[in-house]
Chains A and B, each alone.
Chain A
Amino acid sequence: MRNTRATQLLFELSKSGRRGVRLPAADVPEVPLADLLPTDALASAPPPLPELTEPELVRHFTNLSTQNMSVDTHFYPLGSCTMKHNPKRNERLANLPGIIDLHPYQPADTLQGLLELLWNLQEMLAEIAGLPAVSLQPAAGAQGEMAALLCAAAHFRKLGQQRTKVLAPDSAHGTNPASAKMAGFDTVTVKSTPAGYVDMADLESKLDLQTAVFMITNPNTLGMFDRQIAEIAKKVHEVGGLIYLDGANMNAILGIARPGDFGADMMHFNPHKTFSGPHGGGGPGAGPISVSKVLEPYLPVPVVVRDENGFHLEYDRPESIGRVRSFFGNVGVLVRAYCYIRTHGPDGLKRVSENAVLNANYLLSKVKHIFPVPQGDRCMHEFVASGAKLKNDRGVSAMDVAKRLLDYGYHAPTVYFPPIVREAMMIEPTETESKETLDAFAQTLFRISEEPADLLQEAPHTTSISRPDEVQAARQPIVAWSPKV
């Protein structure tokens, strides 16, 4: 049973003299500290950390955990995030000592198993992407975006071309323009049509010889496959630009269509979405990128290569952009992705996407009578419903609906994204949810739509807290605890 009262902070529970861990004696000849380190480098006292016993810690953190919704405990249809089941076998296998207790600078001959796994993962991702060269280094999708854009920049520098612009649709995820800026580009926004597709006329008017890259998410952030993609790629390639495919929505098209086949020159995967890496309360993720042959020389180092002596890390790539993070990458997440892909095989992955798309369309068919879905009657793995009518009629916002869903034991959809739909509720059920869950969720949405406005505007009513004052939090930020004076 949930203990909602246990919300004291570690620092308030602390009592001088308590300990959670004891350490052995040094068992080496005793030397005064001052002989080992200059006294001016030493702190006068250790950092003022809290002092607690193990039982206190266990109760504290266990109780805190119960104040979260999670995939293990709740339906979590957070659009764009692919909150699918996180397989337990992957946890067990990723924690094998021979996988997890490895130092990043161990010699390759002591790492042949892991390197083999990573090499095979590179190959499998290349096949799924239809783009032959892979770097597993980026730590998340956003870092993959930046890394691939840096590869594009290096490519144009080599060609002696001054290309300063990255284009992205107004429906793009915020990381797209932010990554473009970090890679040194100016960003240009391309309009979407009312149905959510790229506005071709607007795109064409913005394409020029300064265009380095067009970043597109396909299926897009409305959950629609933009069938103009081949035409878009042709137009971008004609001016010498490249196509970046944001792979956040790969869960819809595994084994069905490949970005490399529909015009992409580079892409990232989000293994924490598509390949079931647990989201960890915010992370870790990973952001491996797949690129075309032309871009391969620029990939970050190292990559895993195979030769007659087995597997090793290759660093000597003179045209590489260098590194975007230390060591190899978010290996723990990559290992889980490997386990996931191996569990499914070619048919299994395709069935993942088929069922993800089936579940989303089914839910859409149930929800559209309650909340209109401006994009129409079909979607890929997710759809965006609009609460605009409810807002106009009764002053109830998408946020109110989201909050009320929490009372019924559902995590809320992603709200107010993408920015091109009013009162957007982006719903992604994933393939691992049952028809019963989807039915119950749709019924709940219907019930909510009939509830009195003030009940909704005050929601949630049953969670451990009611709505927080976010304005105050931002106006006078308190971002660390300090002792009361």
Chain B
Amino acid sequence: MPYVANTAEDQRAMLDSIGVKNIEELFASIPAELRLKRPLDIPPALSEMELTAHMAALAKKDAPAGEKICFLGAGSYDHFIPAVVDYVASRGEFYTSYTPYQPEASQGNLQVFFEYQTLITQLTGMDVSNASLYDGGSAAAEAVLMAISATGRHSRVVTAASVHPEYRQILATYLANLGIELVTVETPDGVISPETLAKVVNDQTACVLIQQPNFFGCLEPVEAIGKIAHEAGALFAVSVDPISLGLLKRPGDYGADIVVAEGQSLGSPMSFGGPYLGILACREQFVRRMPGRIAGETVDRRGKRCFVLTLQTREQHIRREKATSNICTNQGLFALRAAVYLAALGPQGLRETAELCLRRSHYAAEKLATDNGFERVFAAPTFKEFVVRAKGGDVEDMLVRASEAGYLAGIPLCMWYEDLADCFLVTVTERRTPEEIDGLVGCLNQVAAIHA
């Protein structure tokens, strides 16, 4: 029992103080017939040394980024994490504390959340941000719920096939029992056609949710889309790649009402999909409809500036079923990571990171497309991801072969898009060097030659 301090002697003294003979008596309220009458059928205890060896053996069966060169993306990215992020986040005072219910004992966390919120407003061009949600996908669903309550329109939500398929699946799950129709416009050209969109957005539409750059890496005609939403009185919600904002216009600058993002790119490891960071920011007028914790500035009794959790009457612990969301535990540690990351990069660092992604991914896309085996699928401009068609077919087999050769070359799209069954999505972050890109292209060419 490595973490329990009670000795046999302590236990005896404690039982005496309580006035019972043994520990068993303390469980008297659990009726015997409801008890488990055997030990749990789980493996026996391991010492720290044994556990370490066991975990090392498991880890050896995996191929982490670094062992295989990672060109996978689609919402989870192999961006560089400066050491200062890990250092700060590994301070026990941060990672072993909890929700700052007692502000006097939590000024560290509260100030970090306030700084995080400010950084997110600077990044997105929105007025206000909350202190984190679970991940980009559930944040998108929360944004839609927020739009429904803000507009009072309970009948239709519009999104597009160019939004991350998993995000749309989450949205469908969240809306399943609320009697709200989810309309998804097709995007055969890899981006939303404003004409097509305009046909389904009506005066009952609560919200238009898009992604920029979209799931295929392409840039959407955001200004035209925002105009269509607003003319119908719907809110315009955008899911963004935070790194892209080093270069691209901020959603606040093209009329978005609610912005969500997967914040993993901002200094958190890929970790097989989580824990991540759900970013949600919006215009000031919706601040009281936001889900989740919000840190706010105030003064203490001596007039000193300080921070508290604020607008708590939105939340489940006060409003119960009338709350704006059920979220309680959030992703505080990942908001901290994002804050350190953004502050470490600063405006220039973020811009250079975005530029590196852009330049290297375009370099990769061009090199790949010059080979006969592959072609670019969409004409729209892209940021750090792009869709490639394997002319020789059997994408999955190609990707397996590439993986055997040491490259996680891309994500097959067959799982989500029937018409893109011979395509895959390639992502190039700033970590991928020109040599690695040349290696990928060489490898894919060889693999394609097998199929030709």
Contacts and interface: CB of A to CB of B under 8 A. Distances in A.
Contacts of A51: 346-348
Contacts of A473: 296-298, 308, 310
Nearest to A470: B308
Given A69-B97, A281-B98, A480 B123 contact: no
Contact of A62 (B88, B106, B317): B88
A71 B305 CA distance: 26
Interface stretch (A94-102, A235-243, A386-394, A448-456): A94-102
Contacts of A206: none
Interface in B94-108: 94-108
A142 B84 contact: no
A201 interface: no
Given A96-B56, A255-B40, A83 B270 contact: no
A1 interface: no
Given A23-B356, A112-B62, A473-B298, A177 B1 contact: no
B97 A279 contact: yes
A177 B93 contact: no
A296 interface: no
B345 interface: yes
B48 A89 contact: yes
A250 interface: no
B355 to A, nearest CB: 7
B344 interface: yes
B399 A107 contact: yes
A286 B135 CA distance: 12
A345 interface: yes
B68 A110 contact: yes
Interface in A95-123: 96-107, 109-114, 116-117
Among B172, B262, B297, max chain A CB count under 10 A is at: B297
Interface residues of B, number: 209
B327 A47 contact: no
Interface in B348-378: 348-353, 355-356, 358-360, 362-363
A331 B273 contact: yes
Contacts, number: 694
B349 A177 contact: no
A385 interface: no
Most-contacted residue by chain A among B43, B102, B249 (CB, 10 A) = B102
Interface string A118-137: 00000010011010000000
B389 interface: no
Nearest to A44: B249
A420 interface: no
Contacts of A18: 346
Contact of B381 (A38, A128, A224): A38
Contacts of A28: 359-360, 363, 434, 437
Contacts of A127: 40-42
A36 B108 contact: no
A18 B347 CA distance: 10
B427 to A, nearest CB: 10
B231 to A, nearest CB: 20
B250 A43 contact: yes
Nearest to B55: A93
A142 B329 CA distance: 8
Given A18-B346, A331-B274, A174 B320 contact: yes
Interface stretch (B73-81, B201-209, B439-447): B73-81
Contacts of B311: 474, 477
Contacts of B2: 87, 343
A266 interface: no
A421 interface: no
Contacts of A478: 296-298
Interface in A249-303: 253-258, 261-262, 270, 272, 276, 278-286, 300
Most buried by B among A101, A315, A351, A412: A101
A189 B426 CA distance: 51
B39 A140 contact: no
Contacts of B294: 477, 479
B97 A10 contact: no
A479 B314 CA distance: 15
Interface in B310-339: 310-313, 315-323, 325-336, 339
B40 A128 contact: yes
B97 A344 contact: no
Contacts of A84: 3
A484 B400 CA distance: 57
A350 interface: yes
A198 interface: no
Interface in B22-77: 23, 26-31, 33-36, 39-46, 48, 51-52, 54-68, 70, 72, 74-76
A109 B44 CA distance: 28
A182 B358 contact: no
A349 B88 CA distance: 32
B90 interface: yes
Interface string A420-453: 0000000000011111000000000000000000
A322 interface: yes
B119 interface: yes
A359 B5 CA distance: 10
A485 interface: no
A184 interface: yes
A234 interface: no
Given A342-B43, A346-B40, A473-B308, 10 more contacts: A10-B343, A41-B381, A43-B249, A48-B347, A86-B96, A93-B51, A98-B60, A143-B326, A177-B320, A178-B319
**Top 10 closest pairs, chain A to chain B, by CB:** A327-B273, A184-B177, A98-B59, A282-B332, A280-B333, A72-B92, A345-B45, A113-B61, A326-B137, A284-B275
